[in-house]
Amino acid sequence: MKNILFTILLLIICLYGTAQYTLKLVITSTPKPTVNVAQRAAEPVFVAGNFNSWNPNDDNYKLKPLGSRLSIVLKDLPAGTYAFKFTRGGWNRVETTADGRDIADRVVELKGDMTQEFVVEGWKDDYPEKPKPYTATPQVKVLDSTFYMPQLDRKRRVWIYLPKGYATSKASYPVLYMHDGQNLFNEQTAPFGEWGVDEAMDSLQKATGKQVIVVGIDNGGEKRMSEYNPYDFQNNKAEGEKYVQFIAETLKPYIDSKFRTQKEAAHTFTAGSSMGGLISLYAVLKYPNVFGGAGVFSPAFWTAPQLFTDVEKTDWSGARPKFFFYAGGKEGSSAADQAKMVADMKRMVSIIESKKGNVNTTTIINPLGQHNEPTWRKQFPDFYKWLIGIL
């Protein structure tokens, strides 16, 4: 009898634990365009959220006409918190307030089938952007606005930060290669705020006497998800292997030939956040003789589950990689997402620490940390102190 009751209870848990619901989103009104009326009428509207990796032009999430309204039905969603915004195919055409200001993510708590109606008050491209200030310090230069990436057959802007003492000394310096270069030094080019890497370096180098060159590589916009992932993910074709090959075999040799660098892996690092954190770890995995370690901020490991297996198979007995891991406790729109971010990172750290070889890991978890540039900006000084402490 006990076994029967247990079986029934288990079936009930499985039934409710895997319940799937339908969420219908309806836009009842959008602002009337004052220019390009016909073009605007033909443009599709999408929903981008934590259910599709915030892809702003995913055809699977395109709204359909519903009389004079627009709608989309999202099926087979588990209960949870869903955050999203409506776009016309890009973040430069995302919805805003009626006077053009950014809006907070729309959030729905899904506990059963439901329909939600919304009014889009404005679109971002209908309001001219207020000029952002140029905040890069004199130590920052654009090395090349069209640096050729032969592995990907693309061109990319590359930045470089040289320590204040570089021009007047004959010293050679360690090099840190960072991703999402437009977000590192200059508020004018950072869509969501800059890291303030140059200001942090100026003050910390003055206080510690330790100096490092930083090279920033702009992300590829719509190619970012592909370039920062060595594995296929959803509709994004894996290009991460070619991207890190570009850094290791093209960009680094160029930097080493033009600047006084300490070329050894023990003095060469890479760092980034989210997808940039993921590809930083992979760069060390792929080129342990080029990169001696990585700063892995808020890594998007959920987009690359195979990476756990590949790290487990890696033999680091002949290398001495060093890793700085950081995650925030508030990264994600639901408690489940927030817990997964930290759990995934802890799992990866555990795998790395079990490897043979002199592997050095540091892990920081900020219970209040969010998934954004202001949070990573606050964390960067701790990363730099760790970096100069192991050089």
Which CATH number belongs to the domain containing residue 242 in this structure? 3.40.50.1820
Q: Which of 126, 155, 171 is the last residue of a domain?
A: 126
Res 263 pLDDT > 70? yes
Cβ proximity of 305 and 280 under 8 Å = no
What band does 5 get if pLDDT is binned at 50, 70 and 90? very low
Is 5 within a domain?
A: no
Most confident of 106-115, 203-212, 289-298: 289-298
Q: Which of 97-101, 104-108, 271-275, 316-320 has the lowest mean pLDDT?
A: 316-320
b or e along 172-209 (b: 16 or more beta carbons within 10 Å of the residue's beta carbon)? ebbbbbbbbbbbbbbeebbeeebbbbbbbbbebbeeee
Q: Are residues 221 and 358 in the same domain?
A: yes
Q: Which of 126, 159, 187 is the last residue of a domain?
A: 126
Mutual orientation of helices 373-390 and 197-208 as an angle, nearest 10°?
30
Is 306 within a domain?
A: yes
Q: Are residues 111 and 151 in the same domain?
A: no
From residue 278, alpha-carbon distances to 118, 134, 367 in Å are: 35, 29, 21
CA distance 383 to 391: 13
* Residue-averaged pLDDT of the chain: 91
Cβ proximity of 249 and 211 under 8 Å = no
Is 257 within a domain?
A: yes
Q: What is the pLDDT of residues 111-143, one digit of tens each?
A: 999 999 999 999 998 987 778 899 999 999 999
Q: Are residues 152 and 282 in the same domain?
A: yes
CA distance 337 to 339: 5
Higher pLDDT, 15 or 289: 289
Q: Which of 48, 66, 62 is nearest to 106 (CA)?
A: 48
In sequence order, the β-bridge partners of residue 100 are none
Q: Are residues 309 and 355 in the same domain?
A: yes
Show Cβ contacts of residue 102 under 8 Å, excluding neighbours closer than 6 positions: 96, 124
Q: What is the pLDDT of residues 74-87, one digit of tens each?
A: 999 998 888 899 99
Res 7 pLDDT > 80? no
**Which amino acid, residue 11?**
L
Q: Which of 126, 150, 170 is the last residue of a domain?
A: 126
Give the SS3 label for residue 223.
helix
- What number is the average pLDDT over the span 163-176? 95
CA distance 293 to 282: 10
Query: Domain limits at 113?
Result: 18-126
Res 334 pLDDT > 80? no
**Which amino acid, residue 155?**
K
Q: Are residues 300 and 350 in the same domain?
A: yes
Q: Are residues 108 and 195 in the same domain?
A: no
Is 10 within a domain?
A: no
Q: Are residues 115 and 225 in the same domain?
A: no
Show Cβ contacts of residue 40 under 8 Å, excluding neighbours closer than 6 positions: 33
What band does 357 get if pLDDT is binned at 50, 70 and 90? low
Q: Which of 282, 248, 244 is nearest to 268 (CA)?
A: 248
Is 134 within a domain?
A: no
Q: What share of the chain has pLDDT > 90, as a percent? A: 74
Residue 49: which CATH number? Answer: 2.60.40.10
Res 203 pLDDT > 90? yes
- What number is the average pLDDT over the span 310-314? 93
The pairing of strands 293-297 and 322-328 is parallel
Q: Which of 125-129, 169-173, 225-229, 305-309 has the lowest mean pLDDT?
A: 125-129
Show Cβ contacts of residue 350 under 8 Å, excluding neighbours closer than 6 positions: none
CA 44 centroid distance within chain? 26
What band does 18 get if pLDDT is binned at 50, 70 and 90? low
Q: Are residues 187 and 109 in the same domain?
A: no
Q: Are residues 238 and 269 in the same domain?
A: yes
Q: Are residues 102 and 197 in the same domain?
A: no
Structure tokens at 95: 């919805």
Q: What is the pLDDT of residues 222-260, one digit of tens each?
A: 999 999 999 999 889 999 999 999 999 999 999 999 999
Res 12 pLDDT > 80? no
Q: What share of the chain has pLDDT > 70, as a percent? A: 94
**Which amino acid, residue 36?**
N
Res 302 pLDDT > 90? yes
Q: Are residues 264 and 354 in the same domain?
A: yes
Q: Are residues 176 and 31 in the same domain?
A: no
From residue 387, alpha-carbon distances to 210, 297, 370 in Å are: 10, 14, 23
**Count of structural domains within the chain:** 2
Structure tokens at 386: 């760790």
Is 8 within a domain?
A: no
Q: Which of 147, 306, 320 is nearest to 232 (CA)?
A: 306
Structure tokens at 181: 């270069």
